[in-house]
Amino acid sequence: MTIPFLLLPLLLFTAHTHATALTTAIGPNERLCFFADVDKAGEKIGFYFAVQSGGSFDIDFEVKDPNDKQLIDGARERQGDYVLTANTVGEYSFCFENDMSTLTEKLLDFDIMVESEPRREPPARPGQISEHTSALEESVFRLNGMLLNIKRTQKYFHTRENRGFDIVKATVNRLFWYAVLESIAVVGMAMVQVYVLQTFFTKTGRRYKV
């Protein structure tokens, strides 16, 4: 019966957190908006995004509160990681716009996390775990911070990998078309040379043998 009490602070912490992690494609000149509900004033909103592929890996974005007031915005940003305090209860909007691109589609990863402060609840029986609650909660919060750091590092390397793959793919595509154009140019030059030699050895309709 020891394990449930050891997990109690962790359960209290996770019970007040909900998040959404998505990957979406944004077409040229397209605007996409996503929404998150805040049930209580003072809750924390975590907002992360990173452009994985497409163009220069940049995107325009803005975040608005339920009163349509702009909280943060950015133009041609490659990625961002923000923490906001929700002072108004209601629906918050997170919009991305690929207006700077007329041909290129962008692939975007983003997280929207709404997190309230964990509540301390009294133990089931007085004196049962009160001596260990603070130490356990501190350990849980420390572990949570370490896990968040690991998660951010994984996101960073995931983004680097996707961007590197996209650059390699674009480079291979350019090399392919360069090789095709080079082959066409070589064939064209050979045909021109044959034509020039034919006209050089042809005079008034007569051909001279060499």
What DSSP letter does each residue of the chain carry, written as one string? -HHHHHHHHHHHHHTTEEEEEEEEEE-TT-EEEEEEEE-STTEEEEEEEEEEESTTS-EEEEEE-TT--EEEEEEEESEEEEEEEE-S-EEEEEEEE-TT-SS--EEEEEEEEEEPPPPP---SSTTSSHHHHHHHHHHHHHHHHHHHHHHHHHHHHHHHHHHHHHHHHHHHHHHHHHHHHHHHHHHHHHHHHHHHHHHHTEETTEE---
Report whether pLDDT(12) > 60: no
Mean pLDDT, the chain, rounded, equals: 80
User: Domain limits at 143?
Assistant: 2-163
**What is the domain-level CATH number for residue 64?**
2.60.120.680
Q: Is position 175 within any domain? A: no
Q: Is position 17 within any domain? A: yes
Q: Is position 180 within any domain? A: no
Model confidence band, residue 119 (pLDDT cutoffs 50, 70, 90): very low
* Residue 40 backbone phi and psi in degrees, to 5: -145, 135
Q: Is position 92 within any domain? A: yes
Mean pLDDT of 88-92: 94
Q: Is position 134 within any domain? A: yes
- Domain count within the chain: 1
Model confidence band, residue 152 (pLDDT cutoffs 50, 70, 90): confident
pLDDT in tens, 155-192: 888 888 888 888 888 889 889 999 999 999 999 998 98
Report whether pLDDT(10) > 50: no
User: What was the pLDDT predicted at 37?
Assistant: 92
User: What was the pLDDT predicted at 161?
Assistant: 84
User: What was the pLDDT predicted at 177?
Assistant: 92
Q: Is position 185 within any domain? A: no
User: What was the pLDDT predicted at 33?
Assistant: 95
Q: Is position 126 within any domain? A: yes
Mean pLDDT of 103-131: 69
User: What was the pLDDT predicted at 140?
Assistant: 81
Least confident range of 5-14, 32-41, 90-99, 128-137: 5-14
Model confidence band, residue 101 (pLDDT cutoffs 50, 70, 90): confident
Q: Is position 178 within any domain? A: no
Model confidence band, residue 15 (pLDDT cutoffs 50, 70, 90): very low
User: What was the pLDDT predicted at 146?
Assistant: 83
